[in-house]
């Protein structure tokens, strides 16, 4: 088992990563009857995409001797109705690394093929922008 999710009432869940004990709280968003005081479940999906991209890029960057420390991803999630679902995820990556064109291609390909992006439904539009400090 990976995690345990408990519904605590008032449209909130407490998610515990069993191996580490780390917790995430989720709330329903304001536009869906919630308080919006924490990540919504769909926020976590969009955020997981950016986290996965940066993690996989970090693994590959280490292999090709590039330092991506302090890289930042800005995430915007768009919702659609009927049925309610994530329709688009926009990610803008700010990468403070001076690298060659070959390294840039390798790292961008790594991001675009991370496990989360490959797990998301193909109907979800993914807009990914890379801003390198060249």
Q: Which domain holds residue 120?
A: 40-132
pTM: 0.95
Same domain for 54 and 78, yes or no, is yes
**Is the bond preceding residue 83 a cis peptide, omega within 30 degrees?**
yes
Per-residue pLDDT reduced to its tens digit, 72-126: 999 999 999 999 999 999 999 999 988 999 999 999 999 999 999 999 999 999 9
What is the number of structural domains in the chain? Answer: 2
Distances (CA, A) of 63 to 14, 39, 41, 78, 102: 36, 33, 33, 34, 14
Using CA atoms of 79, 73, 112, 39 in order, give the dihedral in degrees to the nearest 10.
Answer: -40
Same domain for 66 and 83, yes or no, is yes
- What are residue 33's phi and psi, to 5 degrees? 75, 10
Same domain for 123 and 61, yes or no, is yes
Query: If you average pLDDT over residues 56-68, what whole number do you get?
Result: 97
134: confidence class by pLDDT, cuts 50, 70, 90: low
Same domain for 23 and 44, yes or no, is no
Per-residue pLDDT reduced to its tens digit, 26-42: 999 999 999 999 999 99
Same domain for 45 and 82, yes or no, is yes
């Amino acid at each position: 088992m990976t995690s345990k999710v408990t519904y605590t009432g008032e449209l909130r869940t407490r998610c515990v990563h069993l191996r580490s004990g780390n917790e995430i709280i989720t709330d329903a968003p304001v536009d869906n009857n919630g308080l919006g005081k924490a990540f919504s479940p769909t926020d976590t999906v969009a955020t997981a995409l950016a986290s996965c991209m940066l993690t996989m890029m970090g693994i590959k960057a280490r292999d090709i001797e590039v330092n991506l420390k302090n890289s930042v991803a800005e995430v915007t999630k768009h919702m659609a109705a009927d049925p309610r679902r994530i329709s688009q995820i926009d990610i803008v990556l700010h990468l403070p690394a001076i690298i060659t064109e070959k390294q840039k291609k390798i790292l961008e390909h790594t991001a675009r093929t991370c496990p989360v992006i490959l797990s998301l439904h193909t109907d979800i539009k993914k807009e990914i922008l890379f801003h390198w400090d060249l």
